[in-house]
Amino acid sequence: MNVIHRKTFFGMFGSGAFSGKPPLYTGTDVEPLLAFSRTFFPKTVIEIGIQRGETAKCLLDNSPWIQNYVGIDVAPSHRTALPVQQSEVPKQPGELVKNDPRVRLIVKPNGSRDVTPAELPVADLIYIDGDHSKTGVLQDTELARKVIRKGGIICWHDYGNPAVPSVTKAIDFLNGKGGNAICLIEKGFLCFEFCRNGK
């Protein structure tokens, strides 16, 4: 895994600063997402694992150029593959952004596992933070790579998080197959890839 120093990252992509409290699950890893947004002005964003919508709200409040934001999550009755994630299943997926006209919520019994590429727009930026099992991360990555535009950015959360080591295993597997194209941002759990292939 290639690692980019945090200071170098923000020197290249600009500020990720914002006012207010960081999103509960993303924390300060929202700052690189904001830096990407302010540099590349994505019009269409997909978030796999929108939860209540804290990260979405932070991105939308600081990115007026976003025109379409698709948030995907599981139904409240869903049983997670990893017991550690069961408490994260939202009672009302996307509740913090559901009234934003730019937002479309896709809530299905098994979340992104029940979503086909045909249901999604071509995206400029995709944030994967849903099912943290190895199978879940690999399936979400496969879905994302089918709808990302060429040159678009896919970001994954929780690489290196000891609470969910399966994320690290999945991304290391992807890097082993893909020439180490996914890069980790120092002092956080966010990694990213600029997609050379895409729509």
pLDDT tens by residue, 56-92: 999 999 999 999 999 999 999 999 999 999 999 999 9
For 123-145, what is the mean pLDDT?
Answer: 98
- pLDDT of amino acid 20: 86
- pLDDT of amino acid 124: 98
pLDDT score of 3 more than 90: yes
According to DSSP H, which parts of the chain are helical? Answer: 6-13, 30-40, 54-61, 134-147, 165-178
| Residue 150: C-alpha distances to residues 103, 191, 197 (Å) | 23, 18, 5
Residue with structure tokens 């559901």? 98
Tell whether domain 24-194 is in CATH 3.40.50.150: yes
Q: What is the domain partition of the chain in residue ranges? A: 24-194
pLDDT tens by residue, 169-182: 999 999 999 889 99
Predicted TM-score (pTM) of this structure: 0.97
pLDDT tens by residue, 33-60: 999 999 999 999 999 999 999 999 999 9
| Residue 1: C-alpha distances to residues 23, 42, 168 (Å) | 26, 26, 10
